Structure 1
């Protein structure tokens, strides 16, 4: 796994192209430090050897990641779209709301659904509700995840994930526009998902 390290001094605009990853090492950050996403969307994942690549959360503009609440090995932040974030943000209390904890809880709830189809359905709905937007007849998600990554999120193999996604595409509930970075998902799929009311 390769990643970029952040400078020791606070920076108010770190830019990352799609696919680039930074390692946030809590040992190198001052206590109470946090990063704040200013533009774009990112995935937060665990770099630990035992759980390498396990997704913990997704971040969007305005979300903060407290670096003092990480495991001793830190976390990685991967740009899903071009990302700009600040490393000199002041941690906001927001009445105790923590976007990373909230995402981790939602992803855990999805993993406990009965079968892989329900988990995929709930994941797509959660991603659209939290990170997407309604555009006419479709809901747009501004990034794509690999079938392997989706499989990791729902506890299924890549092969099973590919088969289920093909089935959803054949039902015309999901489109992968050629030449675009994102996905289009049917509002009917989003609204009928398990756990949709709670996300």
Structure 2
């Protein structure tokens, strides 16, 4: 019998109910029980009891621990929101409207959105608008005033304020510095790391 199984049976080490190792341990214990069930009924019973203990610990652990997804949006809601946001970055989006997209109240939606996306809806929209503006600045020759409108901002000065706050530079300087870079990795890293 493998050493890690023997030590679990003796209580030397705690079982790891949620790990893959525990699943393998339980399978080995059941195989061992199956091999000795005819010749040593007491030993087979002991092995089965060990499996039951591991399963009980697993159930207890899951009952006591809050679900990792508790309070988060469901995967389909996250996908629907991402699609809706990307398709509507050129218009004003309110928290109430976004909550309606996934049929939630605005207050619950705001909390669930932050847990799912790591930031509040307004901050997420700001980040997405900044990245869209960067993409347009790198891939088109459109003036900044048109790029601002395409990103849901009222005018070029709003784009400049957004850029200074999120990127740390004005859009003209950023565009000159990165115009030759066309890969998406540059967009993400420049958004995060181009502050002076």
Q: Tell me which interval the TM-score lies in, with the shorter structure as reference length.
A: under 0.3
> Bigger relative contact order, structure 1 or 2, given CA contacts below 8 A and separation 6+?
1
TM-score normalised over the length of structure 1: 0.25
Q: Which has the higher strand share?
A: 1
Larger radius of gyration: 2
- Larger helix proportion of the pair: 2
